[in-house]
A and B are shown apart, each in its own frame.
Chain A
Amino acid sequence: MSKKTEKQTDLGLRQFIKDLGYLSGGAALLATTPWLQSFTPEKAKEIQSEKARIALIGTGSRGQYHIHNLLPMKHAEIVALCDIYAPNLKEAARLCPKAKKYTDYRKMLESPDIDGVVIATPLNWHAPMVIDALSAGKHVFCEKSMALTMDQCKAIYDASRKTDKVLYFCMQRLFDEKYIKGMQMIHSGLIGDVVGLRCHWFRNHDWRRPVPSAALERQINWRLYRQSSAGLMTELASHQLEVCNWAMHRIPRSVVGLGDIVHWKDGREVYDSVSLTYRYGNGVKITYESLISNKYNGMEDQVLGSKGTMNLATGMYFLEGEDASANSGIEQLLSQIGNKVFAAVPAAGSSWRPETQKAYKPHYIVEGKYHINDGLSMIGAVKDGSDEILSAFCQACITGEKGKDIVEEAYCATMLCLLGNQAMEEQRKIDFPDEYKIPYMKFE
């Protein structure tokens, strides 16, 4: 890619974070979102003459999504690509013709010309690759979830404590403006006490990729088999459970759940329907549901407060006691005056009464610009924080500054996913096991 087309793509979020710092309480906010502290426009200027030399392991759809995000970044260059599946490696090489190609990631890690590694491989490969890359002295950015098993997660967490290298997991909601602002609103008490959390992710798709030969089924459709995947929980729920913990500032104590294959009975081993309840120490519960044979309800991360409801995925909130229909006349009048228009507004009618409210008035978390992730894309949504978190990682490859709390957040979220799977498989309530607790976790 030529220099002319390079641009700083993450300036929106950087400016937003800078603005937060100027707001009253901004310092307190940055203290509760410490991973954002260095992600400022000033820092972007400071590192503009340097480039993080990035290698990718895994060049499938998600790997290529990261390539597209990396290419325009001023402070990154893709120097190496690695995959065992030739068609994907070829396509990635077409995007980055100067990058060196590998089929053995260990061989690639021996190269001294790589600062950071981006891992977008099947879940069972995360732990060995992350640990090997850290041991090889590379900074690491790995796709979520953290790993396939609890022991692997603990091993990664322990490795991250020992290394001086940077480790990021792609928990992109941590870098999504509407989540950051929405959390600020929740923590400032806008929706009152958090009394419940409802998250769901619905799609109507078999979750399969086309397979050129039957021998490649388990390699390409790795998400469908337990040897390589923990199914809907690690692929989808991990983001949402992380959001719940972020809102609650704590970790659930226990989980119960039911999982089944109800529709896609095609030989897969992971559930296509899950329903779980996570319970926090104060009795607040997360109701989690995911189904991939009906997409009516889409995807939402909903925080229920005693004074309002925050729909983080769609970037909207609603306050108790506000009626949408009754207010529409005044809203129209305000909008008219703002736009210098004069017309009749539907303000008059029989008396509005608070006890008959039916619809709530929507407010936008980030006024004027919001990007809604409908959850339907199997690769990644536009402007969901993925490019920003990757940009922050590339910055960290240059500065060597660790991403505060990111490993811990990824660890907590992944552990909850895996505990959820255990609860569904064993059909019993699972308490958070002591051996996997880390000091970061607050249960009360």
Chain B
Amino acid sequence: MFHGSLTHIMGTRFDLVLIGKGRELSVSVWDRIIRELERLGNMLNRFDPASEVSRINQKACSGAVRVSDEMWKILLDCRRYHDRTAGLFDITLRDFSALDLQPERQAISFLHPELSLDLGGYAKGYAMKRLLEILKTCGAEHAFIDFGNSAIYGLGHHPYGNSWSVSIGNPYRHGEPVGEFALMNTALSTSGNTPDYTGHIVNPLNGEKNTDQKMICVECDDPLDAEVLTTAMMAAGSGQKEKMMKRFQVIQWKEFDLQH
């Protein structure tokens, strides 16, 4: 068993538990993972003024900004998710229509002066997909990948069980579990407010900050789908949720009302 841990990466912490690959191979996998996470952090972190997304946020109001191939694919992907969630997933957090994507130049410009990109609801899911590619290339069959508890992937199964079993903690009642998921080659994303971090999820359709005492968990084969959906679901009305879920391959999803 190998355990790797990073305490500050992409705005959160990261843990990998890798089973049955021996020390040497595990360490080399871990090295590749660290490098990839640092690379992605340098591209997608809007709090780092030198990142590509920061460069876009600084310049796209005053003209078209050419972007890297990878960033271009990400932006197109975010547009697809925006459409598939009926606008509830929105990396502009306010008006996706003010984002002008120019395919001929692979460039982007903002049509609204206060627009900026926030890939917070996307980056961890995207990173998780990239890490799974690395793990599979290296022949890893069983691993537990934990991105700050809110994005988890269970590859294969626990050495003494038939899945990776995780329980969901209630942030308002410390230590109280509210639900349980058994992951086997599936991803679990969780989104919600906590007592000391409320109102960070914005409904892009009306600009309102979500302050509900609730938590949403989505389990999918695809970690990016799971990540995008939890964010969109926090903003969705009751009728929208079922409709949206039907457009994705969701294994299960749960909403926990934590008010009581």
- Chain A residues close to B by CB (< 8 Å): 321-323, 325-327, 329-330, 333-334, 336-338, 340-354, 356
Could you list 13 examples of A-B contacts with CB < 8 Å? A330-B5, A330-B17, A330-B146, A344-B165, A346-B168, A346-B169, A346-B175, A347-B167, A348-B150, A350-B193, A350-B194, A350-B197, A352-B150
Residue in A closest to B181 when the chains form the complex, CB atoms: A348
Query: Cβ of A338: which chain B residues have Cβ within 8 Å of it?
Result: 1
Q: Which of B165, B188, B196 has the most CB of A within 10 A?
A: B165
A-B interface contact total, Cβ < 8 Å: 111
State the majority secondary structure of interface residues on B.
Answer: strand
Give B153-167 interface residues, CB cut-off 8 Å to A: 158-161, 165-167
Contacts of B217 in A (CB 8 A): 348
A350 and B191 contacting across the interface, CB-CB below 8 Å? yes
B196 CB to closest chain A CB (Å) equals 5
**B199 at interface, CB cutoff 8 A:** no
Determine the residue in chain A with the shortest Cβ distance to B188.
A348
List the A side residues contacting B146 at CB < 8 Å.
329-330, 347
Pair A350/B150 contact, Cβ less than 8 Å: yes
Chain B positions 32 through 54: 1 when the CB is less than 8 Å from some CB of chain A, otherwise 0: 00000000000000000000000
Instruction: Determine if B169 and A349 form an interchain contact, defined as CB atoms under 8 angstroms apart.
Output: yes
Query: Are A354 and B11 neighbours in the complex by a CB distance under 8 Å?
Result: yes
Say yes or no: A348 contacts B149, CB within 8 Å: yes
Check if A326 sits within 8 Å of B17, measured CB to CB: no
Question: Known contacts A329-B166, A341-B160, A344-B165: does B13 contact A349 (CB below 8 Å)?
Answer: no
Nearest chain-A residue to B201 (Cβ)? A350
Residues A344 and B166 in contact in the complex (CB < 8 Å), given A326-B148, A354-B7: yes
In the A-B complex, list the 9 residue pairs whose CB atoms are closest, starting with the nearest: A342-B161, A351-B150, A344-B165, A342-B160, A352-B148, A344-B167, A350-B192, A330-B15, A347-B166
Given pairs A330-B3, A347-B146, A354-B13, 13 additional interface contacts (CB within 8 A) = A344-B166, A345-B165, A345-B166, A346-B169, A347-B149, A347-B166, A348-B169, A348-B188, A349-B169, A350-B192, A351-B148, A352-B12, A356-B197
Q: Which of A322, A340, A341, A346 has the most CB of B within 10 A?
A: A346
Question: Complex Cα distance A329/B8, Å?
Answer: 17
* A337-B158, A342-B158 known; A329+B149 contact, CB < 8 A: yes
Distance, CA A410 to CA B159, complexed state (A): 54
Contact B165 A350 (CB under 8 A): no
Chain B nearest CB from A339 CB (Å) reads 9
Interface flag for B190 (CB, 8 Å) = yes
Asked if B144 lies at the interface with its beta carbon under 8 angstroms from chain A, I say yes
Is the Cβ of B17 less than 8 Å from the Cβ of A337? yes
Q: Which residues of A contact B228 (CB under 8 A)?
A: none
Asked if A353 contacts B177 (CB within 8 A), the reply is no
State in angstroms the CA–CA spacing of A94 and B160 once bound together. 58
Is B160 in contact with A349, judged by CB distance below 8 angstroms?
Answer: no
Contacts of B197 in A (CB 8 A): 350, 353, 356
Decide if A349 touches B149 in the complex (CB within 8 Å): yes
Chain A residues within an 8 Å CB radius of B5: 327, 330
Q: Which residues of B contact A321 (CB under 8 A)?
A: 7-8
CA distance A321 to B166 in the complex (A): 24
> Which B residues form the contact surface with A (CB < 8 A)?
1, 3, 5, 7-8, 11-13, 15, 17, 19, 144, 146, 148-150, 152, 158-161, 165-169, 171, 174-175, 177, 180-181, 188, 190-194, 196-197, 215, 217
Is there an interface contact between A337 and B12, defined as CB atoms closer than 8 Å? no
A123 to B135 Cα, complex, angstroms: 66
A352 to B5, CA, bound (A): 14
Contacts of A323 in B (CB 8 A): 13
**In whole angstroms, how far apart are the Cα atoms of A336 and B158 in the complex?**
10
Residue of B nearest to A343 (CB): B165
Max count, chain B CB within 10 A of own CB: residue among A323, A326, A330, A348? A348
> Of B7, B152, B160, B215, which one neighbours A337 at CB under 8 angstroms?
B160
Contact yes or no, B8 A346, CB < 8 A? no
Chain A residues with CB under 8 Å of B174's CB are 325
Which residues of chain B come closer than 8 Å to A330, judged between CB atoms?
A: 3, 5, 15, 17, 146
Residues of B contacting A348 in the complex (Cβ-Cβ under 8 angstroms): 149-150, 152, 166-169, 181, 188, 190, 217
Task: Check if A350 sits within 8 Å of B149, measured CB to CB.
Answer: yes
Which residue of chain A lies nearest to B163 when distances are taken between CB atoms in the complex?
A: A342
Chain B CB count within 10 A is highest, among A329, A349, A352, A353, for A349
Chain B neighbourhood of A342, CB < 8 A: 158, 160-161, 165
A310 to B13, CA, bound (A): 23
Kindly report which residue of chain B lies nearest to residue A323, judged by CB atoms.
B13
Q: How far is the CA of A344 from the CA of B180 in the complex (A)?
A: 7
Contacts of B13 in A (CB 8 A): 323, 326-327, 352, 354
- CB-based contact A346/B177 at 8 Å: yes
Question: Is there an interface contact between A334 and B7, defined as CB atoms closer than 8 Å?
Answer: no
CA distance A85 to B240 in the complex (A): 89
Chain B residues in 8 Å Cβ range of A336: 158, 160
Give the distance in Å from the alpha carbon of A333 to the alpha carbon of B168 in the complex. 14
Please, which residues of chain B bring their CB within 8 A of the CB of A322? 7
Q: How far apart are B37's CB and chain A's nearest CB, in angstroms?
A: 15
| Interchain CA distance A336-B17 in the complex, whole Å | 12
* Complex interface: chain A residues within 8 A of B168 (CB): 346, 348-349
Query: Inside 8 A of B190's CB, which chain A residues have their CB?
Result: 348-351
A353→B160 contact, CB < 8 A: no
Alpha-carbon distance A323/B15, docked complex (angstroms): 13
How long is the Cα–Cα vector from A350 to B5 in the complex, in angstroms?
19
CA distance A326 to B149 in the complex (A): 7
